[in-house]
Amino acid sequence: MATTYDLDTVRGELPVLHDWIYLNTGTVGIMAEPVLKAHLDYLAHYERGGHTAQHVAVESYNHSKLKLAELLGVDPADIAFNRNATDGINAVAAGFPLQPGDEIITSTEEHPAMVIPWLAACDRNGARMRFMPISADSDQFVANLLAQFTPQTRVVTISQVSCETGVRLPVDLIRGIVGPDVAILIDASQSVGQFEVKIPKLNADFVIGNGHKWLAGPKGTGFVWFKPESIHLAPPVYFHSETVDPHWSRDYYQSDPLPAIKVSGKAERFEFGTRSWHLFGALANAIEYQATLGWPAIENHMRTMSNHAKESLAEIPGVRVLSPGEWEDSSGLVTFSIAGMQGELASQRLWDGYKIAQRRVASPSSVRVACAYFTSAEDIQCLVEAVDSLARHG
Ligand SMILES: Cc1ncc(COP(=O)(O)O)c(C=O)c1O
């Protein structure tokens, strides 16, 4: 399928592209002008109107949850909004019932946002983490998982797409290996918005993600999806009126003894207090914006651009592409190393000398670029010429 949207029009709605070659949606996305306008309108309306505007802000928040739920193929009631992916991982890890000796499996290519909350949970409870190498190959993935799986395994917590190399993992296979009693958390930060992610197909208990990368929504938007049967495994550690069931009321003062706190079984128990409702209003606009371009067309475009980048970079002497060649095994993230040059230095040179926004990968020392729905063949050409020059002259 060819790109069916007009790339020039799309790029015209992203003014930063006049000055930069933006290949870093994997870190933060850039917001299209129509979405930004809606975002600023929501902000102004709520901040100017305060309480008089709150119902509109809350409605837009709820509408956004419907849109996200539709995209992910789940019930909106099972989604809690929060600030970012890190928030979502913490929401699950903070109260997860671990016993001394329990084990948690994750991969060697996780973002620290995944590792640290679970490490803290292990420290509190006397549990330990085990790390598996990743592979897009199903047999190898299963073998790697089995090598770390023991009778003590309680949780498998892993990204669907590695933020280091863009490898896409067959995470739907995990359930078949670990059985029904091990909790599975999938970090979809690098997958939602890149290709179709329908949560029911992942066979997971918890799925977390954010709105600010591939959905190109506002910074400060994240989510967790809870499988209703598993939400008891994530008891909240913050409490508010929505955390308890029935919700708090002033009648509590009349009762003696005070009613026992019964924690709500709903995802909303993780949402509390006065929030940036307006941010989420704009998340719906961001989702709608890309949906109008067409998700299949976007995916096809990213496949074409990332293939082009991988093939062209691989032809440069001294350059090694670390991301898999096949789209089904990979994503819009393309990671490569340059012989004799640390990733950090190469990344800095690409920023300073060529105005190419990307990021370094620490280990193996390399550079990661992200091909998004707006990436052009000219962007890739500029990248390839810059990398060629770095590989030749340093
Ligand atoms: C796979 C993965 N998980 C988690 C995070 C952290 O995301 P956030 O900044 O939304 O907390 C990132 C950010 O790059 C990521 O790539």
In terms of DSSP bridges, do strands 222-226 and 206-210 run parallel, antiparallel, or are they unpaired? antiparallel
Q: How far apart are CA 208 and CA 353, in angstroms?
A: 36
Which atom of ligand 1 is closest in space to residue 163's alpha carbon? 16
Phi, psi of 270 (to 5 degrees): -95, 5
Residue 40: which residues within 8 A CB-CB, separation 6 or more? none
- Minimum CA distance residue for ligand 1 atom 7: 85
Amino acid in position 302: M
Domain positions in the chain = 7-30+294-388, 39-290
Distance 230 CA to ligand 1 centre (A): 23
Residue 233 per-residue DSSP state: G
CA 113 to centroid of ligand 1, rounded, Å = 6
Closest CA to 319 of 372, 355, 369: 369
Among 111, 159, 223, name the best residue to mutate to test ligand 1's pocket (greatest count of ligand atoms within 8 A of Cβ). 111
**What is the DSSP code string of 13-44?**
T-GGGGT-EE--TTT-----HHHHHHHHHHHH
Instruction: Round to whole Å and give the CA distance between 88 and 159.
Output: 13
**How many Å lie between the centroid of ligand 1 and the Cα of residue 38?**
25
What's the CA-to-centroid distance between 389 and ligand 1, angstroms? 31
* Cis peptide bond prior to 117, omega within 30° of 0: no
Phi, psi dihedrals of residue 80, rounded to the nearest 5°: -110, 130
Omega within 30 of 0 (cis) for the link into 296: no
Residues with CB under 6 A from ligand 1: 27, 84-86, 111, 113-114, 159, 163, 187, 189-190, 210, 222
**What does the block give as tokens for 93?**
């890890």
Confidence of residue 2 (pLDDT cuts 50, 70, 90): low
pLDDT band at 250 (very low <50, low <70, confident <90, very high): confident
Average pLDDT over residues 102-119: 98
Q: Of 189, 174, 259, which is closest to residue 221 (Cα–Cα)?
A: 189
Mean pLDDT along residues 290-319? 98
Is pLDDT larger for residue 248 or for residue 309? Answer: 309
Q: How many residues are present in the chain?
A: 394
Beta strand pairing status for 333-338 and 366-370? antiparallel
- By most ligand atoms within 8 Å of CB, the mutation choice from 116, 158, 210, 219 for ligand 1 is 210
pLDDT over 90 at 248, yes or no:
no
Start-to-end CA span in the chain (Å): 39
| 112-125 vs 85-93: helix crossing angle, rounded to 10 | 20
User: What is the per-residue pLDDT for 4?
Assistant: 82
Instruction: Locate 169 and state its tokens.
Output: 């993992």
Q: Is the pLDDT of residue 242 over 80?
A: no
| Angle between the N-to-C axes of helices 295-314 and 377-393, in degrees from 0 to 180, rounded to the nearest 10 | 20
Rounded to the nearest angstrom, the distance between the alpha carbon of 86 and the centre of ligand 1 is: 6
Question: 368 with 164: CB under 8 angstroms?
Answer: yes
Confidence of residue 261 (pLDDT cuts 50, 70, 90): confident
Residues contacting residue 280 through CB under 8 Å, at least 6 positions apart: 60, 61, 64, 65, 81, 211, 218, 221
Distance of CA 245 from the midpoint of ligand 1 (Å): 32
CA atoms within 13 A on the CB side of 4: 12
- Alpha-carbon 336 to chain mean position: 21
| Calculated CA dihedral for residues 164, 165, 171, 177, nearest 10 degrees | -90
Nearest-atom index, ligand 1, CA of 161: 1
**Collapsed DSSP state (helix, strand, coil) of residue 244:** strand
Please give the average per-residue pLDDT across 60-65, as a whole number. 97
Q: Residue 178 pLDDT more than 70?
A: yes
Please report, for residues 91, 166, 355, 369, the alpha-carbon distance to residue 341 in angstroms, rounded to integers and kept in the order given: 39, 21, 19, 17
* 126-153 residue pLDDT tens: 999 999 999 999 999 999 999 999 999 9
- Looking at every residue in the chain, the average pLDDT score rounds to 96
Q: Does domain 39-290 have CATH number 3.90.1150.10?
A: no
**Which of 164, 190, 223, 361 gets mutated to test ligand 1 (max ligand atoms within 8 A of its CB)?**
190
Whether residue 118 has pLDDT greater than 80: yes
* Residue listed under structure tokens 């948690």: 104
What is the CATH architecture assignment of 7-30+294-388?
Answer: Alpha-Beta Complex (3.90)
Residue whose CA lies nearest to ligand 1 atom number 14:
27
